[in-house]
Amino acid sequence: MTLEHTNATGLTVERDLTVARRRRNRIRYHATQLAVVVAALALVVLFAVAVKEGLARHGIKFSFSFLWDAAGFDISEGKTFVFDSGFWLGFSDFTSDRSIAQAFVAGIVNTIKVAVLAIVLSTVLGTLLGVGRLSTNWVVRNLSFWCVEFVRNTPLLIQLVFWYFAVVLHFPPIAAAAKFYGVIISQQGLYVPALTWQGEGSAVAIALASACWVAVLGLVFDRHRTTRWICLGALVALPSLMLATGTLALDFPVASKFQASGGTSISPEMAALLLAIVFNSASYIAEIVRGSIDALPKGQWEAAASLGLGRRDTVNDIILPQVFRVVLPSFGNQYISLTKNTALGIAIGYPELFNIYGTIANQTGHSLEGIVIVMASYLILSWIISAAVSWADRRLSNPGAMR
């Protein structure tokens, strides 16, 4: 240290200058950082104060206590969490004497219901359409192309309104509807037979049901092909056994004067929303699939052809596995926008989250508090979807997962 000071004074001065400049730059950097943070904080505080003042001016109190009031209104369909049976969390139909918070839950459940179904269906349909656009069959190619073009170039809202008012509501009324092995398709909804649990608390029945779950989990998570086949076999065998022994029973819907009871049903609103969103998202997914098939090197097709693989085998075994690895992030974006699109259900009276928010805001006047809840719900849903997609992405690009 001392040596340096005495022997190389010029060098030290230069180094000091550099250090000083670096320090100055660092200070400037941190000052800017600080300024940005302070400005952002100030903006948020200003915003909060302005909202609070605005609300006070109108005599509105910002509080979430209304969530625990009784709702007093009905929702046409929807299940919610209940605490009726003591400690255990139940899951049953929403009725007017439940709380506002439970109404919100019913809305979220309805949104998730449509979103999950639409994600599955639109992925399948979209992949078919995307592959169809590259089909060797002229009719299929052009039909897929025009379907995709038409759907992508018109607003989703008009498609939704059209599906609901011009298609679904033109189904026959329940009295005149065709009944096909317990399936009823009518303008009151689509009814299908449902499985009901008759096993009560018997140990054998519960063991069988748990075995089913294990099989499902094995099918989804296990990486060995043989184990999967075994799980699949178990999934066929176990429920048949339970049906035969009477622990599970089929509940057929029975049409009455105005609607049908029993079984499982999909309301016309849900059917229309599902149809509109599935077709819309499928068109976008088809474009993603087509784009990434186009982007694959031509050599892949040629190599497959030289191995003597047929076109269908080439698509199934060579092209699609590669495509799915590439398109997953784009699919994720599409799934998020699909979930957001369910908010259009308000236009046809489907009681999804935004629609129920509308009812609550009107009946209670707490529109701002409601917005906070709705916004947080959508944010969480989006995050769940992107987390799930990136999990799937990681799993797919994991070499062990490749066949």
Partner 1 sequence: MNFKHILMAGTFAGAALVASHASASVLDTVKQRGTLNCGTDNTAPGFGYLNTTTGQMEGLDVDFCKAIAAAVLGDASKVKFVTVTDKSRFDAVLTNQVDVVFAHTTIKPARESSIAIDFLPINFYDGTGVMVKTESGVAKFDDLDGATFCTTQGSVTETVLTSAFKARGWTASKVLTYENLEKLFAALNSGRCNAMSTDKSALAAWAGNSPKPADYLILPDTLDKSPFGGFVVANDSRWRNALRWSSYGLFQAEESGISQANLDEKLKSEDPFVQKFLGVGGGYGKDFGLPDDFVAQAIKAVGNYGEIYARNLGPDTKMFLDRKGTPNALWTEGGAIYSPLWN
Partner 2 sequence: MIARSLTWSRHNLFGKPFDVLLSLTVIPGTLWLIYQAVAWAVGMAQWDIIPQSLRVLMIGIFPADQAWRSWVAVAIIAALLGAALGCVFAFRTRHAGFLALVLAILVSMTGVNTLAALTAVLVIFASAWILTSYVPMSRRVLIPASFTGLIAIFAVMSPPGAGLWGGLLLSVLLTLVTAVLSLPIGVLLAFGRRSRFSSLRMISTAYIEVMRSVPLILVVYWIWILMPVLTPELNLADVVRGMVGFTLFYSAYVAEYVRSGLQAVPRGQTEAARSLGMSEFDINRSIVLPQALRVVVPPLVGNVLDIFNAAPLVFIIGLTDFLRAGQMILANPQYGNRTYEVYSFLFFTYFLVGSLITFVARKLEAHLARGSR
- Residues lying near partner 1 in the complex (CB under 8 A) are found at 57-60, 72-77, 96, 165, 169-170, 173, 187-188, 256-259, 261, 268-269, 346-349, 351, 355, 358-359, 361-365, 367
Rounded distance, CA 93 to CA 331, Å? 33
Q: Please choose which of partner 1, partner 2, none residue 51 contacts, taking the beta carbon within 5 to 8 angstroms, the exact cut-off set by kind.
A: partner 2
Distance CA 79, CA 220 (A): 27
Q: Could you tell me the smallest distance in angstroms from the CB atom of residue 185 to partner 2?
A: 20
* Mask for 383-402, x = binds partner 2 (CB under 8 A): x-------------------
58 to 97: interface string for partner 2, x by CB under 8 A: x---------------------------------------
**165 vs 221, beta carbon nearer partner 1:** 165
What is the rounded distance in angstroms from the CA atom of residue 271 to the CA atom of residue 164? 8
Chain-centroid distance, C-alpha 238: 30
- CA atoms of 224 and 189, how far apart (whole Å): 41
All residues at 6 or more sequence positions from 169 whose CB lies less than 8 Å from its CB, including other chains: 187, 268
Which residue lies nearer to partner 1 by CB, 181 or 258?
A: 258
> In a 3-state reduction of DSSP, which class is residue 183?
strand
Phi-psi region of 253 (alpha: psi -120 to 50; beta: other; left: phi over 0): beta
250 makes contact, choosing from partner 1, partner 2, none, with CB < 5 to 8 Å by partner type, with none
Q: Tell me how far apart the alpha carbons of residues 182 and 210 are, in angstroms, rounded to a whole number.
A: 28
Alpha helices in 194-266 (DSSP H): 203-221, 225-245
Q: Give 82 or 168: the residue with its C-beta nearer to partner 2.
A: 168
Task: Point out which residues bind partner 2 (CB under 8 A).
Answer: 29, 32-33, 36-37, 40, 47, 50-51, 54-55, 57-58, 136-140, 143, 149-150, 152-158, 161-162, 165-166, 312, 336, 340-341, 343-344, 346-347, 354, 367-368, 371, 374-375, 378-379, 381-383
